[in-house]
Each structure stands twice: as C-alpha cells, then as structure tokens.
Amino acid sequence: MSGLWQDFLSSWPLFWESYLTGLCAAALLALLGVFAIARRQLFLGVVVAQCSTLGIALVLGLAAMGIGGAAHDVLDAPVAHGHLHGLPLIAGVAFALVAAFLTGSGRRPAEATEALGLWLFVVASSASVLLLAHGPHGLEEIQRLTFSSLIGADAFDVVKLGGLLAAAIALLLPLHRSLLLVATEPEFATALGLRTGLLRSAISAAQGIAIGATIHSTGTLFCVANLTLPGLCARRLARTMRGTLLLAPALALVGNLLAFVLANGFDYPPGQVAAALLAALTLLAHAVPRR
C-alpha cells in the first residue's frame, strides 16, 4: 500500500487539479445529499444531473448548427474541457436549477413528484443524445457528459467547486438546524414559525447549483454517487441527522482520496473507481448492526 501512496504523491504535480476538483465536488455533494436523503428524494440527484447534461448538450447542439456565434468554436476541434466553460456551464446550472425546483420545492403529492421526475429523466436522457448524435464529436461529448471524466479538470474547476464548498459550509454553520428540521419535519418547522417554503427553495437552489457545476467538471456517475452514497452510509452509522451531516462529507473525502490512490496505482478511471468504492462502503455500512 505504501507503494501506491508514493505513486499517488508522484502523480500529484501532473493531476492535482483533477484530484482537488474531485475532492471539492465530493464534499459539496455529500453535504447537500444529506438533505435529499432526509426529504426521501434520492432519485432527485439522477433527474437533476440528467437535466443539467441536457443544458450542456443544448448549447453544444446549437453550436453544431452554427447558432450562438463564438460558441461554434466548441465543436471546431476535438472536445477539450476548457472549451466547455462559459455558455455550456451556465446552461447546465440553469437546467439543473429548474429541475431541482420542479422536483424538490413544490407541495405536490409524492407520487406526482416521482412521475414528474421520471418524465424529466426520460426527456433529458433522450434529448441529450439526439442533440449531439450528428455532431462532429457527438459520441465523445455524450460519453464525457454521461460518464465520469475527472482527467482534464483545470484550475477553474478547482476554484469553482472550492468556492461553492466554502459557501455551502458558511451557510450551513448558522442554518443547519433549521434546514434539517424543514427537511425532516416540515409540519413541525411550520408550527415553530420557520419559513419552510423559503428554506425548502433554498435547499433546492443549492442542490441545483451544486449538481450543475459538478456535472460540468466530473460527469453524471461521479456526481450521483457522491450525492447519495456518502449520505446513505453516514445515515446508517450516525445516530442523528446532525451527525450524518458531519460524517457524510468526511466519508466522501476519505473514500474519494482512497479511490484516487487506487485508480492511479492500477491505471483505472478515477471517477468509476470512486463510485464503485463508495458503493462498497455503503454496503459495508449497512452490514454493521445498529446499536
């Protein structure tokens, strides 16, 4: 194992941007994923992630048709991650925000919300492929957006996700009790005089922004895995929701760091290794008897 760590440290100067992007994204998503779990909206992450992918695909598709002026440069050469900053990122975050509000902030029955989420997932999944299927590098773009590709992340991604993580922590420090109460006991929160509608919308907005920004940098698989699995694992191990909120990002950081070490040592894609390792940790956590 010491040899794997040495190899990982040796690779740090070459891939530090990818590693830091992954760690910041993992901690951010794990924090916000706790609220999705508390609201019993695990499928929300998949739906919002796919809608964010549709937003990015829409900009690329319009560029392929010559619509959007300078955006056409995105498809003039083989896809480079840096070319996807700007309009594709904005569209990805905007579509994620809309999907998060549609599926997370309304007061419709749970069955109706699930049905809407399923419809959005099917539409976004099919439309993303159709928009890019005939592009010069359509297959490459679809694969990069659908599957995790941390390699190629740059300093902008580190600053973007690091800034969002810092903002999330700064907001959660004074508001985490109220937000957790709204997520777990909305009727009681209303009885206490909390503005549940506003706080619920704030949670949805934070999840939409985080998922949209992360999809752009890491891909769907990595995003969904870190949004759901660390929280599920922490919920099994912690006795309180507050404990879950503290444990989930810690598990995400440790799990992803170990995954990056293994991926580098055995030459596997880091995003897929991270998702598989988090799935294994969640399975092990559920095998531990509750006290």
Residue pLDDT, tens place only, 141-178: 667 766 667 887 899 999 999 999 999 999 999 999 99
Q: Tell me: the pLDDT tens digits for 36-93?
A: 998 888 888 889 999 998 998 888 888 777 665 444 444 444 455 556 678 889 999 9
Q: What is the percent of the chain with per-residue pLDDT over 90, rounded to a whole number? A: 56
> Which range (125-134, 239-248, 275-284) has the least confidence?
125-134
CA distance 112 to 135: 36
- The CATH code that applies to domain 2-282 is 1.10.3470.10
Q: How far apart are CA 149 and CA 143, in angstroms?
A: 9
Q: Which of 237, 238, 277, 243 is nearest to 257 (CA)?
A: 277
List all residues 6 or more positions away from 90 whose beta carbon is below 8 Å from its beta carbon: none
CB 232 within 8 A of CB 37: yes
The type of residue at 273 is V
pLDDT recorded at residue 3: 85
What is the rounded average pLDDT for all residues in the chain? 87
pLDDT (average), residues 226-233: 95
> Residues 236-258: what's their mean pLDDT?
95
Residue 72, CA distances (Å) to 4, 53, 144 in order: 42, 18, 19
Domain boundaries, the chain: 2-282
Q: What gap in Å lies between CA 204 and CA 32, rounded to an integer?
A: 9
d(CA 146, CA 151): 14
Q: What's the pLDDT score for residue 14?
A: 92
Which pLDDT score, from 0 to 100, does residue 224 have?
A: 92
Handedness of CA 134, 136, 142, 143 (dihedral sign): positive
169 vs 286: CA distance, rounded Å = 27
Asked if residue 136 has pLDDT above 70, the reply is no
pLDDT greater at residue 151 or residue 206: 206
For the chain, percent of residues with pLDDT exceeding 70? 87
